[in-house]
Structure 1
Amino acid sequence: MCTARYTESDVRELAGPRSYERGLGYLDAVGRLRVDADRITATVQGTERYRVALEDGDSLRAACDCPYGEDGHFCKHCVAVALTVLREPGELPALRGEAAARETALDTWLDGLSRDELLALVRKRLAEDADFKDLLSVRAVMAGGDITAVRADITALLDPAEFSQYGYIAYEDAHGYAAQVTRAAEAIRDLATAGQGAAAIAAAREAIRRVTGVYESADDSDGCIADAAAELERAHLDACVAEPPDPDETARWLVDHCLGDGGEYLELEPADYRDVLGAQGLATLRALGEEALARNPSGWAEKYLMESLARAAGDLDELIAIHAADLDPDGYTHLVIAGELEAAERAGEALEWAEGGLRHAATEGEPVHRGLVDYVAERYACDDRTADALTVRRDHFQAERSLLAYRALRAAARADGRWDAERPPALELLRADAEEGRKSRWGGGAVLIDALTDDEDFDAAWIAAPVLATSDQWLRLADASAAARPADALAVYVRDVVARCQYTGDGNYTRIADLLTKARACQEALGTLDDFTAYLAGLRTEQKRKRNLMRILDQRGL
C-alpha cells in the first residue's frame, strides 16, 4: 500500500503548536485532494477557498495562498491537508493510481498529435513563459555543439543581477533566482547526457562556486535557493558518474568544498561519491580529512567530513567514536548516536546511549534536548514501561515548563493512569511561574493560561486570564470556549477588532473580518443578532474610508 513519506510528528514540528491545533478544525474543509508521485494538492474552505500544495519527497514542504501561508509559514490549511492524507491511508493507492492514469492519458494524447500541432503547443508556451524559453534556448545551443556557448548560458543563469535590486536578493526575489539555478542544473545534466561529462563537471563546480558567493547575500528564509543549489550538487554527482574524473583530484575538490565556504552553505555528502572515487580516491579523501581534523580538532566541517567517510566505509563504530569525541552538553549527540544505532537495528545499545544522554545533561547542568526526551519516553512507552516514561516527562516538564512539555506530561500520565495525581503539582509550578512573571520561551505569556485552555478547564482559565493573559492567549481562550461562554468570547473579539481598526493593510483587514465572523456566531448563540447588526453598521460607518476593508467585509457577507 502506498503511504505518505512523512509522519504526524513532522507536521506538528513544521506547523508549531498553534497552527497544528487550528488545522485540526479544518479537516472537514479539505476538498479536491489530488496526489501525484511527490506532490499533493487540495483546496481548503476557510474564510475563503485556499489552495494548498505539499511536496512529499525527501522532506515535507508546503505552500498555501492564504495570507499566513504566503509569508512562508506551514499554516493551518497545510496542516489540514497533511493530516487528511495521513488519516485516510487507504485512499492513497487509488489517488496515486488516478494520477498515473492521467499521466498515461496525457502521454497517449501527445502521441496522437502531429508535428505541427506539437510545435504550435511549444511555440505558444514559449510566448507565454520566459523561463521555459530560456531552458529551451540552452538546449538549442547544446544541440549545436557549442560547449563554450552552453557554459556561458549556464553562467548567465547564475547571475543574480536581475534579482539584486539593492545589492542582495530579497525574500520576494529568492524563488525567481532559485528557478534559474534549477535550470542551470538541468542544463548541466543535459551536458553530461550528451557525452560532455568533463564539461558538465567543470560547469557544475563553477556553478556551485558562484551560488555559494550569492548565498551570503540572499534572504533564503524558505530554503528555495538551498534546494536549487542541492540540485546543482546532484547534477555534479551525475556528471561524475557519467564520466568519472581523476579520483585524487575529485577527492581534493570534495575536501576543499566541505571545508570551505561551500560546505558552510551547501552541504554535500562525500559518501555519495564512493563509487566515483574508488579505493584510491577514498584513501586520498581519508588522508586529507585526517590531516584537516588534526589541524582543527574542534572544527565542525572537519568532523562532518570524517563522519561521511565512516558512513562511506559502513563503519558504524568509527562513526560513533567520532560523535562521542565531542558530546553536546544537552545530550543531542547522544540522540544522534542512538539514531545511528537504531537504524542499524542495535536498539538495545541505542537506548543505552539515549539514557546516558539524560544523565550527561544532568551532570552538565543543561536542559535536556527535547528530541532526546521524546526518544527515551517513546521507547519506554513502546516497551510498556509507562511509569519510566512518566518520570522522564515529569523531569523534563519541571525543567522546561512549556506547553509542549505539559502536553507530553499529560499524555504520559494518562497512559500510566496518574493524570489526576500529576496535574495539580504541574499547575502549581506554572502558577508559581506566572506569579514570578516567567513567560513562555517565545515571550507568549504565562504558560498557565495555555495549559488551562489546552486542558479545556475554561473556568479556571477565564479566572486567571485578566491578570496573566496576552492578547494572543485571550484569543485562543475565546476560540476554544466560545461555544460554552459566548458572551465572554464576544467581548474578546470586539476588543481585538477595536485595537485592529487603528491599523491598515489587507492582512489586518482579513483578520478583522475573521473576528467579526466569530463575534456574529457568538451573538447568534446569545440570541442577540440584532445587536451585532447594529454594531456592524456603526463600524462600517466609522471605517468607511478604508475601501479594502469594506471590500473584504462585503466578500464575507458582513
Structure 2
Amino acid sequence: MAQALGFTDEDLRRLAGSRSYERGLGYVSAVSRLEIGETAITAAVDGTDCYQVELTEDGDGGVTGWCDCPYGQEGNFCKHCVAVGLALLGQARSVPQQRSAAASRTRLLDTWLESRTREDLLALVREHLADDRDLRRRLELRAATAGEDTGIVREQILSLLDTRPFARHGYVEYADAHAYGQQAAEAVTALRALTASGRAADAVDVAREALSALGRTYGEIDDSDGLIGDVAAGLAEGHLAACLAARPDPVRTADWLVTHLLDGLNDATDIDLFDYHKVLGEPGLHRARELVVAAWRANPKGWAEKYLMERLLKADGGSVDARVTVHAADLAPNGHTHLVIAKELEAAGRPPEALEWAERGLREAAPECGPDGELVAFVCERYARTGRLADVVTLRRDLLRARPTLAAYQDLRTAARTAGTWKEPERTGAREVLRAVGTPKTGRWYGGSVLVDALMDDGDLDTAWQAAADGYADQPQWLALADRIRDQRPADALTVYLRWIEPLRKQTGDGTYERMTELLLSTRACHRALGTEAEFTTYLAALRADQKRKRKLMAMLDQHGL
C-alpha cells in the first residue's frame, strides 16, 4: 500500500529557514497543477513569475525540493517549495490513494504496451518520431551504431555535444544545462554501443574527438548540478573501455593521453593516466614518464605539468623529498603549496618539518590574499595538540587585524573560548577592530559593516541595534536585525519595516511589489504583537488607496490577505 507523507511542516521550516518558511505561507493559495506521483510531486506556483517546483521524498523520510526560481536554482529550498509542501500536507490523507492511482496508471500503460502487436508499436513510434525531433535524433544514433558507417556515428555524437543550440549568449546557462546534459548523455550511450558492436578501435578515435570537443566548451557551461560532469566521466569511461577492448598502439596512446592531460581539456573528465596501465604496458608507461618529466622541466610552474609530475612520483613510489622538490618549484602566494608539503612530510612521519613548512607558509603569504584557510587550520590544530592554545589565540587575533571579516571574528571567538580568554579585553578588542573598519558616514546609505554582523552572530542584539543606529548598518542588515528582534521588541522592528516601505511606494516592477508585500507581512506581525491591528488596518487602507493604480501590487496584496 502507498505510504503517507514522511515530512512535516517543521521539516519544511528547517529546510527553508524561518524567513523563507514564513514567506511560503503566503504562497499556498498560489499553488496549482499539483500532481502526486509514486515518488515525486510536481506543481506550479505563481509568484513574480510562474515557477515549476518538484518535491521528492528520500528513503529516510526526508524531502528535497527543486524550483526554477532564481533562489531555487542556487540550490536553496525556497518559499515556493515550502508552499507546495504545505499544500501537500493539507491533503495528506489523500496522498496514499493518489500514489496508488499513479502506480496503477504506470501498470496500465505497461500492460497496454505489452499487448500491442509489433505493427502497432512501430506505428506508435513512427507517429511520435514525426512530432519529436529529439527522439528521432536519439533513435537515428542508435540505428547508426548498429550499422557499419562509423562516420555517421561520429558526426551525430559530435552534434549531440555541440553547445551552440543551447548557448543563447555564447554560454549555456543553468536553465539550459539540464536539457543539454540530457542530449549529451546520448553520446555516452552511443559510444558504449559502438564498442559493444565490435568496433572498439573506431570507438577509441570517436571518444578522443568527443572528449576534446567537450573539454573545449565545458568552461562555457553552468554545470552547477554536475550533469555535464557525469557526461564527461561517461565519455572517459567509454574511451578506457574501448582502449581495453581494442588495445591500440601503447606509445601512441601515451602520446595522446599526456597531450590531452597537458592542454587543459581534462577539467571535465578528470582522466587518470595510471588507469590506463593495462592499455599502456611498460612501453606506453615509459613513454608517458618521458613526456611528463620533459613537460615539467620545461614549465615547472604549470598546473597540469606539476600535477602530472606529482602523480608520476606517487605512482612510482618516489621519495617524499622528491615530491617536496616538485611542490617547492611553484609556491602559491596564499601558502596552499606549503600546506601540501606539510601534509606530505607529516604523512612521512616528519611532523617537526611539517610544522616548519606550515608556519613558513603563514609568514610568506601575500598580504593582498592572506594565508589559505586550510593552512591556518592546520597550524592551529597542531598548536592545540601540544597545548599551545595561547598561540592559537594570538594567530587568530593577528589574522582578524589583517583581514577583519566575520569568519575571522568567529574563529578568534572559538579559539579564545577554548583557551578560556573570551572576555575583556579580548572580546572588546576584537569588536574595536571591526568598529574601526566601518566608520559611520552621514548623508547617504552605504555598505553595512562586519561589526553589525558580528554582534548579531554573538546574539548581542541590543549592542547591534545601537551600532546600526550609529550608522554601521545598511538596509539588508537593518532588516535582518529587525527580523531577529521582532518577537522581543516589535515596536523597534516596526520602525525599520515602515522606513523601508516608504521608498518602495515610488518604485514599480514585480520585484518591488514582492518586496513591499513581504515588508507589509512583517509590519502586520509587529502590530499583532503590539495589539495595534486596527492601526495597521488604517495604514494598509491608506497605502492601498495611494497605490491602487499598480494592479499587480494589488493582486499580490490580495493573494496574501493584505
TM-score (norm 1): 0.74
Query: 3-state SS of the aligned residue for 1:419?
Result: coil
Q: C-alpha displacement at 1:469, in angstroms?
A: 0.8
Q: C-alpha displacement at 1:180, in angstroms?
A: 2.4
Given candidates 234, 238, 258, the residue that maps to 2:237 is: 234
Q: 2:338 corresponds to which residue?
A: 334
**Equivalents in 2 of 1:192, 1:357: separation in Å?**
49
Q: 1:433 to 1:168 in 2, by over 3 A?
A: closer
Percent same amino acid at aligned positions? 42
**Equivalents in 2 of 1:362, 1:148: separation in Å?**
59
**Equivalents in 2 of 1:160, 1:281: separation in Å?**
34
Does residue 194 of structure 1 match 2:214?
Answer: no
Q: C-alpha displacement at 1:372, in angstroms?
A: 1.7
Q: 1:334 to 1:275 in 2, by over 3 A?
A: farther
One-letter amino acid matched to 1:526: L
Q: 1:67 corresponds to which residue?
A: 69
Given candidates 499, 502, 517, the residue that maps to 1:498 is: 502
**Equivalents in 2 of 1:538, 1:226: separation in Å?**
55
Does residue 205 of structure 1 match 2:208?
Answer: yes
Q: 1:163 corresponds to which residue?
A: 166
Q: C-alpha displacement at 1:181, in angstroms?
A: 2.3
Given candidates 542, 557, 562, the residue that maps to 1:553 is: 557
Q: 1:281 corresponds to which residue?
A: 284
Does residue 476 of structure 1 match 2:476?
Answer: no
Q: 1:412 to 1:355 in 2, by over 3 A?
A: farther
Matches within 5 A, 1:12-27: 23=17
Query: 3-state SS of the aligned residue for 1:420?
Result: coil
| 8 A Cα contact 2:264 2:304, kept in partner | no
| 8 A Cα contact 1:174 1:219, kept in partner | yes
Q: 1:195 to 1:356 in 2, by over 3 A?
A: same
Does residue 325 of structure 1 match 2:326?
Answer: no
One-letter amino acid matched to 1:243: A
Q: C-alpha displacement at 1:476, in angstroms?
A: 1.7
Q: 1:255 corresponds to which residue?
A: 258
Q: 2:532 corresponds to which residue?
A: 528
Q: 1:401 corresponds to which residue?
A: 404
| 8 A Cα contact 1:185 1:232, kept in partner | yes
Query: 3-state SS of the aligned residue for 2:561?
Result: coil
Q: 1:489 corresponds to which residue?
A: 493
One-letter amino acid matched to 2:281: G
Does residue 295 of structure 1 match 2:278?
Answer: no
Query: 3-state SS of the aligned residue for 1:483?
Result: coil
**Equivalents in 2 of 1:50, 1:217: separation in Å?**
26
Q: 1:4 corresponds to which residue?
A: none
Deviates more, 1:303-312 or 1:259-268: 259-268
Deviates more, 1:325-334 or 1:545-554: 545-554
One-letter amino acid matched to 1:116: R
Q: C-alpha displacement at 1:370, in angstroms?
A: 1.5
Q: C-alpha displacement at 1:178, in angstroms?
A: 3.4
Give unpaired runs (5+ residues) of structure 2: 1-13, 26-37, 83-101
Residues 404-425 of structure 1: per-residue CA shift (max 9 Å, x gap): 1111222222233222243111
**Equivalents in 1 of 2:352, 2:138: separation in Å?**
51
| 8 A Cα contact 1:40 1:55, kept in partner | no
Q: 1:271 to 1:433 in 2, by over 3 A?
A: same
One-letter amino acid matched to 1:152: E
| 8 A Cα contact 1:493 1:518, kept in partner | yes
Does residue 143 of structure 1 match 2:146?
Answer: yes
Q: 1:527 to 1:215 in 2, by over 3 A?
A: same
| 8 A Cα contact 1:142 1:191, kept in partner | yes
Give unpaired runs (5+ residues) of structure 1: 1-19, 31-35, 57-61, 82-101, 438-442
Q: C-alpha displacement at 1:450, in angstroms?
A: 0.6
**Equivalents in 1 of 2:54, 2:233: separation in Å?**
27
Q: C-alpha displacement at 1:402, in angstroms?
A: 0.6
**Equivalents in 2 of 1:358, 1:502: separation in Å?**
56
Query: 3-state SS of the aligned residue for 2:265?
Result: helix
**Equivalents in 1 of 2:220, 2:208: separation in Å?**
20
- Equivalent pairs counted in the alignment come to 498
| 8 A Cα contact 2:339 2:361, kept in partner | no
Q: C-alpha displacement at 1:427, in angstroms?
A: 0.6
Residues 156-209 of structure 1: per-residue CA shift (max 9 Å, x gap): 212334224455545543443333222212321222233322222211111122
Deviates more, 1:449-458 or 1:296-305: 296-305
TM-score (norm 2): 0.74
Does residue 116 of structure 1 match 2:120?
Answer: no
**Equivalents in 1 of 2:302, 2:412: separation in Å?**
37
**Equivalents in 2 of 1:412, 1:457: separation in Å?**
19
Q: 1:320 to 1:278 in 2, by over 3 A?
A: farther
**Equivalents in 1 of 2:496, 2:52: separation in Å?**
26
Q: C-alpha displacement at 1:253, in angstroms?
A: 0.9
Q: 2:360 corresponds to which residue?
A: 359
Q: 1:173 to 1:66 in 2, by over 3 A?
A: closer
Please give the root-mean-square deviation of Cα atoms over the aligned residues, in Å.
4.6
Q: 2:429 corresponds to which residue?
A: 425
Query: 3-state SS of the aligned residue for 1:520?
Result: helix
Q: C-alpha displacement at 1:129, in angstroms?
A: 6.8
**Equivalents in 2 of 1:510, 1:351: separation in Å?**
59
Q: 1:194 to 1:490 in 2, by over 3 A?
A: farther
Pick 1 or 2: higher relative contact order, CA cutoff 8 A, min separation 6.
Answer: 2
One-letter amino acid matched to 1:454: D
Q: C-alpha displacement at 1:369, in angstroms?
A: 1.1
**Equivalents in 2 of 1:340, 1:128: separation in Å?**
60
